[in-house]
Structure 1
Amino acid sequence: MTTIIRGGTVVNADRAFRADVLTDGDKIVAIGEKLDAPANATVIDASGQYVMPGGIDTHTHMQLPFMGTVTADDFFTGTAAGLAGGTTTIMDFVIPNPQQSLLEAYHTWRGWAAKSAGDYTFHVAVTWWSDKVHEEMGTLVRDHGVNSFKHFMAYKNAIMADDETLVRSFTRALELGAIPTVHAENGELVFQLQQDLLKKGITGPSAHPLSRPPEVEAEAANRAIAIANVLGTPVYIVHVSCAESLDAIARARAKGQRVYGEALAGHLVIDDSVYQSADLEFARGHVMSPPFRSKHHQAALWQGLRGGNLHTTATDHCTFCAEQKAAGQDDFTKIPNGCGGVEDRMSVVWDAGVNSGMLTPSEFVRVTSANAAQIFNMYPRKGVVAVGADADLVVWDPEGTRTISAKTQFAKGGFNVFEGRTVKGIPSHTLHAGNVVFARGELRAVAGAGRHVDRPAFTKTHA
Structure 2
Amino acid sequence: NLSDLEEMIRLGAVAFKAFLTWAPEIPAVDDYSLVKAMEILSDKDRVIGIHCENDSIIQGHKNSLKKAKRNKMEDFLESRPEIAEYEATCRVALLAKETNAKVHIVHCSLPQAVEVARMFRLQGAKVSVETCIQYLTFTKEELLRLGPYGQFNPPYRSPEAVEGMWKNVMNGSIACLASDHSPYTFEEKEAGFKSIWDSPEGVTGIQTWVPQFFSEGFHKRKMPLSKFIMLCSTRAAQIFGLYPRKGIIALGSDADLVIFDPEAKWIVSSKDLLYKKKWSPFIGKEIKGRVDITIVGGEIVYQNGAIIAQGGQGCFISPEYSQS
Alignment TM class, shorter chain as reference: over 0.9
From 152, 158, 163, the equivalent of 2:19 is 152
| Counterpart residue identity of residue 18, structure 2 | H
Q: Distance in 2 between matches of 1:322 and 1:439?
A: 27
The aligned amino acid for 1:199 is K
Deviations 1:310-343 (A, max 9, x none): 1111111011132111334443222111100100
Paired with 1:392 and 1:212, the residues of 2 have a C-alpha distance of 38
**Which one scores higher on RCO, CA 8 angstroms, separation ≥ 6?**
1
Would you say 1:220 and 2:88 are equivalent positions? yes
Map of 1:30 onto structure 2: none
- For 2:320, the aligned partner's letter is P
- For the 8 Å contact 2:272–2:305, the answer to whether it is kept is no
Query: Which residue number in structure 2 is paired with residue 450 of structure 1?
Result: 314
Q: Which amino acid letter does the alignment assign opposite residue 80 of structure 2? A: R
Task: Assess if the C-alpha contact under 8 Å between 1:214 and 1:244 holds in 2.
Answer: no
SS at match of 2:9: helix
Q: Which residue of 1 aligns with 2:174?
A: 310
Other structure's SS at 2:165 match: helix
Instruction: For 1:158 and 1:416, locate their aligned partners in 2 and report how far apart those are by CA, in whole Å.
Output: 24
Q: Residues of 2 paired with 1:135 and 1:199: CA distance?
A: 40
Is the Cα contact below 8 Å between 1:215 and 1:244 reproduced in 2? Answer: no
Query: Are 1:321 and 2:185 counterparts?
Result: yes
Residues 440, 328 of structure 1: alpha-carbon distance in 2 compared, 3 angstrom cutoff: closer
Q: How far apart are the structure 1 equivalents of 2:142 and 2:158?
A: 10
Question: Structure 1 residues 204 and 396 mapped into 2: Cα distance closer, same or farther (>3 Å)?
Answer: same
Match of 1:237 in 2: 105
Map of 1:421 onto structure 2: 285
Shift of 1:425: 1.4
Q: Once the two structures are superposed, what CA deviation does each residue of 1:80-99 show, in whole Å capped at 9, x if it has no partner? A: xxxxxxxxxxxxxxxxxxxx
Listed one character per residue, the Cα deviations across residues 290-323 of structure 1 (whole Å, up to 9, x for unaligned) are 1122221111111111111111111110111321
Q: Match of 1:200?
A: 68
- Is contact 2:128–2:175 with CA below 8 Å preserved after alignment? yes
State how far apart, in whole Å, the 2-side matches of 1:317 and 1:437 are: 20
Matches within 5 A, 1:331-410: 331-410=195-274
TM-score with structure 2 setting the length: 0.94
Out of 141, 164, 177, the position equivalent to 2:32 is 164
SS class of match (2:315): coil
> Within 2, Cα distance between the matches of 1:324 and 1:401?
32
Identity across matched positions, percent: 27
Change (3 A) 1:210 1:264: same
Task: Mark the CA change 1:397 to 1:457 in structure 2 (over 3 Å): closer, same or farther.
Answer: closer
Structure 2 residue aligned with 1:297, among 128, 152, 161?
Answer: 161
Structure having the higher helix fraction is 2
Shift of 1:391: 1.0
Instruction: Count residues with an aligned counterpart.
Output: 322
Residue aligning to 1:5: none
| Larger Rg belongs to | 1
- Answering whether residue 7 of structure 2 is matched by residue 139 of structure 1, we say yes
Matched with 2:132 is 264
CA contact (8 A) 1:392 1:434 kept: yes
Matches of 1:425 and 1:453 in 2, distance apart?
30
Contact 1:315 1:341 in 2 (8 A): yes
Q: Which amino acid aligns with 1:427?
A: V
The Cα of 1:136 is off from its aligned counterpart by 1.6
Contact 1:253 1:309 in 2 (8 A): no
CA distance in 2, matches of 1:224, 1:457: 29
Any conservation in 2 of the 1:179–1:233 contact (CA below 8 Å)? Answer: yes
Q: How far 1:158 moved relative to its partner?
A: 4.8
CA RMSD of superposed structures (Å)? 2.0
CA offsets 1:325-371 (integer angstroms, 9 cap, x no match) = 13344432221111001001110110000112342111011000000
Contact 1:428 1:440 in 2 (8 A): yes
SS of equivalent to 1:355: helix
User: In terms of mean alpha carbon deviation, does 330-339 or 386-395 score higher?
Assistant: 330-339
Alpha-carbon contact 1:347-1:426 (below 8 Å) kept? yes
**Deviation per residue, 1:2-38 (Å, 9 max, x gap):** xxxxxxxxxxxxxxxxxxxxxxxxxxxxxxxxxxxxx
**Partner Cα separation in structure 1 for residue 184 and residue 123 of structure 2:** 41
Q: Does the CA-based 8 Å contact 2:242-2:322 persist in structure 1? A: no
Match of 1:12 in 2: none
SS in 2 for 1:446: coil
Q: CA deviation at 1:169?
A: 0.8
Deviations 1:384-405 (A, max 9, x none): 1111111110111111222112
| Cα distance between partner residues in 2 of 1:443 and 1:396 | 16
Segments of structure 1 that go 5 or more residues without pairing to the other structure are: 1-132
Instruction: Supply the distance in 1 between the matched residues of 2:301 and 2:45 (Cα, whole angstroms).
Output: 35
Looking at secondary structure, tell me which structure has more strand per residue: 1
> Does the Cα contact within 8 Å between 2:147 and 2:192 map onto a contact in 1?
no
